Amino acid sequence: IERIADLLIKKQSDYGTANIARFGRTGLIIRLHDKVARLENLRGSGGARNESIEDTLLDVIGYSVVGLMWEDGTFMVPLLPS
């Protein structure tokens, strides 16, 4: 859980919230679909040079948490390290 929290804090710091806010729920669905498609490709090819299955699974978890935050209205609140 701490690993996911650190990832989300870093991503929000790097990219802000506008990229998600622009398309909201629809954008999150598309991003999650992209990650699932990547998992299918990684499974079939046995891996990729620039992203592992583990990295992709962490991204799926991260986008799922972002989706929950979007739904409960907390996504736009700045995330701070604990």
pLDDT digits (tens, 9 = 90+) for 29-46: 999 999 999 999 998 876
SS (H, E, C) 30-70: HHHHHHHHHHHHHHHHCCCCCCCHHHHHHHHHHHHHHHHHH
Other CB atoms within 10 A of residue 75 CB: 19
| Residue that is written with structure tokens 């907390």 in the block | 74
Checking if the pLDDT of 82 tops 80, the result is: no
Q: Where do the domains of the chain lie? A: 2-72
CA–CA dist 74, 45 (Å, integer): 37
pTM of the full structure? 0.85
pLDDT given for residue 17 in this prediction: 93
77 burial via Cβ count (<10 Å: 0-12, 13-18, 19+)? exposed
